[in-house]
Amino acid sequence: MRFQIWSNIFPMVLKSLFNRENDKRKFVRHPAEIPIEYEVEGKPSNSTQYTKNISFGGLCFQSDSPLENETIITLRFSSLNPDYKIRCRIAWSAPNQDKYDVGVEFLDNNDARLAKIIEEIIYIKNFQKQVFENDS
């Protein structure tokens, strides 16, 4: 019975993963809520922002103010010790309720790998925190 259900679902899963005719993105995006701060031309943002998703090529985060396309910014992952900085280019920005969704692309493939590692580290830290809270 399980095999029959899986054999019906598996083709749909494959189609959704690989049928990307209308999707212009090069990389699959993964939901991720990571606290970040950013700097534009050396001027830091005034508050912590959160990523919405991350991929090998870039990420999306919410900003309190609009940011101009093609602007080079520095993202800082301040929740880690030591904190990490990654240089990015703003690919797009769009209003979303009272904030702005901002999509950035990493300027260096090494930064893309680093962002993925940061995502994993934060996931592990959050998991450890949940386990600790549940044990208390």
Instruction: Give the structural domain span for 48.
Output: 27-131
Q: What distances in angstroms separate CA 41 from CA 35, 72, 95, 102, one per listed residue?
A: 20, 8, 22, 17
Domain annotation covers residue 20: no
Q: What percent of the chain has pLDDT over 70?
A: 74
pLDDT in tens, 104-129: 998 887 766 777 777 777 777 778 77
What's the residue count for the chain? 136
Domain annotation covers residue 50: yes
Domain annotation covers residue 54: yes
Domain annotation covers residue 109: yes
Residue 5 has pLDDT above 50, yes or no: no
Q: What is the pLDDT of residue 68?
A: 94
Domain count, the chain: 1
Residue 20 has pLDDT above 50, yes or no: no
Assign residue 88 the CATH number of its domain: 2.40.10.220
Domain annotation covers residue 17: no
Predicted structure pTM score: 0.67
How confident is the prediction for the chain on average, in pLDDT?
77
